[in-house]
């Protein structure tokens, strides 16, 4: 697909690319943000002008070249204005998760030596104010929202400033500040650090991965080449911008490609925003796809008998060629899909907002092959990709024209790979990060002779790679058998009735699973099948229900089959092979019931 994609100016840094877009396509829409129900556009010229003013505002507030700017907010225009504004004056951006508690925010900002912190609202600025004793380099706190700004300013008038005021400071200094920005851009190179992205810290303290402008440019080129993106591509930005996956599609690619990014009203309105925007590209973590699957399941359960039957026919008829591209399908398959699309799939694509989607991605965590197959059956071109913070984003990805189920494809443009004796994936190339900020020991452990040790075990077949699990997560039972927990967990979560699943097996004689039922989906199924349920865990529930005659007898009814029937009811037969229960003999009359059968309300 390389020949079909536009040439990118990857010799430029991100701020230089922004200046070029503003010069070449000044009136083209770069960003849109939804405010009070209205989508407000921002052209490339406006994007650049406001970023310059933000950068000069930072400079007026005392930020020097090489300084660090923290951003603590949900996705919005001001987030990327802060990032590009910092880059225009030679500073480095550090993203912080807005859901983080004060202690985590304090650690990241202190470790990153943040001098200016841009906060979304009073809630986020309060976290910084509570931690200011730990932030000796802090010069300013910039607050985006005006609501509550007076109260925040009253607590620290010498520190707090509004985002509008910051832009006004930059506008006032624009005349004499422009030459300074031009000088920074002249000196800026691909070797300079663009971002510090902190890891999740699941195995210890978060580590700050330093991403260079060269890493960013190489990543943009690899993504555009693999996915065949064009300038008319549009993307809804909703995943945290302090995560490299959203940075890749909201900042890296659009600045080189010239594509459009839309910011929704909030993370809580994603599905509504999807329907309104109908993006041509969409990235969802596995949980997003599982929730969309569950939402469709509820909608189908609420429909009439004939619609359910039509849906079941369309799914069963189109599943066999789900992984074929339209060009690979035969005449019969095209006719079957065309009929299914007109009768069923078009309405479902509109319902989830992906009717115009030309590239859909899933990554950041393992996903069940059944979920991927389901969406491809609906006509959503879902691809599996793999990446990590240390690779600046996507480093493996399926090719849209050549799909192999349950794999993450092959390395992207310019990336080499190899497998260790343990099966660990190791990669090398221009996308590999510079190292961890102020942590040479961790950098030396991750980067050995230029090869990044990912910590992920993979299998390779016919040149395609499949992620098995994290090397450290593979469990060994008491019997000495190796177990890959993510495969079992993701297979279980393929059911729309299961929200979460955690396998417990390490050093144990048996494998157990902690399963969280998706209440909304299961409740809808129970209501439609006349099954009594409650939100309250009551030991008297079974006795009361039996007294009312609502529980059916289960003398010879397998409890495991009842559970499977709940999690995988009729209409979802493509998931029935997920759970293989051993047959159990029902207790004889008069014998004490097990805790499982009592919970299920079985009659004695």
pLDDT in tens, 293-304: 988 988 898 888
- State residue 565's pLDDT score: 52
Which range, of 350-364, 383-397, 399-413, 503-517, averages the lowest pLDDT? Answer: 503-517
Which range, of 372-376, 417-421, 489-493, 571-575, averages the lowest pLDDT? Answer: 571-575
Res 414 pLDDT > 80: yes
Mean of pLDDT values over 534-562? 46
Mode of pairing for the β-strands spanning 359-362 and 382-388: parallel
- State residue 500's pLDDT score: 80
* Architecture of the domain made up of 2-226+237-267: 3-Layer(aba) Sandwich (3.40)
Res 393 pLDDT > 60: yes
From-to residues of CATH 3.40.50.12780 in the chain: 2-226+237-267
Higher pLDDT, 559 or 93: 93
Which DSSP string corresponds to 58-122? HHHTTPPTT-EEEEES-SSHHHHHHHHHHHHTT-EEEEE-TTS-HHHHHHHHHHTT-SEEEESSH
Res 447 pLDDT > 80: yes
Place of tokens 């197959």: 373
Higher pLDDT, 268 or 561: 268
Residue range 217-274, pLDDT digits in tens:
999 999 999 999 999 999 999 999 999 999 999 999 999 999 999 998 877 888 889 9
The whole-chain average pLDDT of the chain stands at: 84
- State residue 314's pLDDT score: 95
Compute the distance between CA of residue 300 and CA of residue 296 in angstroms, rounded to an integer: 6
CATH numeric code, 281-355+357-431+440-466: 2.30.38.10
- State residue 410's pLDDT score: 93
Which DSSP string corresponds to 547-565? HTT-SPP-TT--HHHHHHH
Residue range 7-47, pLDDT digits in tens:
788 999 999 999 999 999 999 999 999 988 889 999 999 99
**Measuring CA to CA, how many Å separate 396 from each of 286, 346, 386, 389, 435?**
17, 30, 5, 13, 20
Compute the distance between CA of residue 6 and CA of residue 560 in angstroms, rounded to an integer: 55
- 555 near 589, Cβ under 8 Å? yes
Predicted confidence band at 577 (pLDDT cuts at 50, 70, 90)?
Answer: very low
Res 188 pLDDT > 60: yes
Which range, of 224-228, 306-310, 409-413, 550-554, averages the lowest pLDDT? Answer: 550-554
Q: Is the pTM of this model over 0.85?
A: no
Residue range 303-327, pLDDT digits in tens:
888 999 999 999 999 999 999 988 8
Q: What percent of the chain has pLDDT over 70?
A: 82
From-to residues of CATH 2.30.38.10 in the chain: 281-355+357-431+440-466
- 528 near 301, Cβ under 8 Å? yes
Helix axis angle, 286-302 relative to 305-318, nearest 10°?
A: 140
- State residue 336's pLDDT score: 95
Compute the distance between CA of residue 318 and CA of residue 250 in angstroms, rounded to an integer: 33
Res 72 pLDDT > 90: yes
Compute the distance between CA of residue 252 and CA of residue 218 in angstroms, rounded to an integer: 9
Mean of pLDDT values over 131-139? 94
Neighbours of 535 (CB within 10 A): 6
- State residue 481's pLDDT score: 59
CB neighbour burial string for 278-292, b if at least 16 within 10 angstroms, e if fewer? bbbbbbbbbebbbbb
- State residue 450's pLDDT score: 92
Residue range 456-509, pLDDT digits in tens:
888 888 888 988 876 655 555 545 555 566 667 767 776 778 878 887 765 566
Res 519 pLDDT > 80: no
Mean of pLDDT values over 125-147? 94
Which range, of 109-118, 329-338, 374-383, 576-585, averages the lowest pLDDT? Answer: 576-585
Phi, psi of 422 (to 5 degrees): -90, 0
- Ranked by mean pLDDT, the top range of 33-37, 161-165, 555-559 is 161-165
Compute the distance between CA of residue 422 and CA of residue 335 in angstroms, rounded to an integer: 47
- State residue 487's pLDDT score: 62
Predicted confidence band at 329 (pLDDT cuts at 50, 70, 90)?
Answer: very high
Compute the distance between CA of residue 171 and CA of residue 201 in angstroms, rounded to an integer: 39
Compute the distance between CA of residue 460 and CA of residue 410 in angstroms, rounded to an integer: 10
Residue range 81-117, pLDDT digits in tens:
999 999 999 999 999 999 999 999 999 999 999 999 9
376: left (phi over 0), alpha (psi -120 to 50) or beta: alpha
- 557 near 602, Cβ under 8 Å? yes
- State residue 270's pLDDT score: 84
């Amino acid at each position: 697909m390389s020949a079909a994609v536009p040439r990118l100016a990857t010799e430029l840094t991100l701020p230089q690319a922004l200046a070029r877009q503003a010069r070449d396509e000044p009136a083209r829409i770069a960003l849109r943000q939804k405010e009070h129900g209205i989508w407000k556009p921002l052209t490339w010229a406006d994007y650049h002008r406001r970023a310059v003013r933000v950068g000069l505002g930072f400079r007026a507030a005392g930020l020097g070249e090489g300084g660090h700017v923290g951003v603590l907010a949900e996705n919005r225009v001001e987030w990327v204005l802060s990032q590009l504004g910092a880059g225009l004056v030679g500073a480095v951006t550090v993203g912080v998760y807005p859901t983080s508690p004060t202690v985590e925010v304090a650690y990241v900002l202190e470790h990153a030596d943040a001098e200016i912190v841009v906060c979304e609202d009073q809630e986020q600025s309060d976290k910084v104010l509570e931690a200011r004793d730990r932030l000796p380099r802090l010069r300013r706190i910039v607050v985006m929202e005006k609501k509550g700004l007076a109260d925040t300013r009253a607590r620290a008038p010498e520190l707090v400033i509004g985002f509008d005021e910051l832009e006004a400071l930059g506008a006032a200094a624009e005349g004499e500040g422009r030459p300074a920005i031009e000088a920074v851009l002249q000196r800026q190179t691909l070797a300079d650090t663009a971002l510090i992205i902190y890891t999740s810290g699941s195995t210890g303290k978060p580590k700050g991965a330093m991403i260079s402008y060269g890493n960013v440019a190489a990543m943009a080129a690899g993504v555009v080449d693999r996915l065949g993106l064009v300038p008319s591509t549009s993307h809804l930005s909703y995943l945290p911008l302090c995560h490299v996956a959203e940075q890749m599609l909201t900042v890296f690619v659009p600045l080189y490609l010239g594509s459009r990014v839309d910011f929704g009203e909030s993370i809580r309105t994603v599905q509504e925003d999807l329907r309104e925007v109908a993006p041509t590209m969409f990235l969802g973590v596995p949980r997003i796809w599982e929730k969309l699957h569950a939402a469709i399941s509820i909608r189908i359960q609420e429909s009439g008998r004939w619609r359910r039957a039509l849906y079941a026919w369309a799914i069963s008829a189109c599943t066999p060629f789900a992984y074929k591209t339209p060009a690979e399908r035969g005449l019969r398959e095209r006719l079957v899909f065309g009929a299914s699309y007109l009768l069923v799939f078009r309405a479902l694509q509109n319902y989830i907002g992906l009717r115009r989607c030309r590239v859909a991605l899933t990554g950041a965590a393992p996903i069940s092959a059944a979920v991927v197959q389901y969406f491809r059956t609906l006509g959503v071109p879902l691809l599996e990709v793999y990446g990590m913070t240390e690779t600046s984003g996507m480093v493996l990805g399926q090719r849209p024209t050549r799909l192999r189920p349950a794999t993450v494809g092959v390395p992207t443009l310019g990336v080499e790979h190899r497998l260790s004796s343990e099966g660990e994936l190791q990669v090398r190339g221009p996308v590999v990060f510079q190292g961890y900020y102020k942590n040479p020991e961790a950098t030396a452990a991750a980067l050995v002779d230029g090869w990044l040790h990912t910590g992920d075990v993979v299998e390779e077949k016919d040149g395609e790679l499949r992620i098995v699990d994290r090397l450290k997560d593979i469990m060994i039972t008491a019997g000495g058998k190796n177990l890959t927990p993510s495969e079992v967990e993701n297979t279980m979560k393929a059911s729309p009735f299961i929200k979460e699943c955690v396998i417990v097996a390490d050093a144990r004689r048996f494998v157990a699973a902690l399963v969280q039922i998706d209440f909304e989906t299961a409740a809808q199924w129970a209501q439609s099948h006349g099954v009594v349920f409650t939100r309250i865990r009551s030991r008297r529930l079974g006795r009361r229900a039996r007294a009312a005659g609502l529980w059916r007898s289960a003398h010879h009814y397998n409890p495991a089959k009842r559970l499977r029937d709940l999690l995988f009811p009729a209409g979802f037969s493509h998931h029935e092979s997920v759970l293989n229960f051993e047959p159990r003999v029902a207790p004889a009359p008069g014998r004490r019931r097990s805790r499982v059968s009592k919970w299920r309300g079985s009659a004695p």
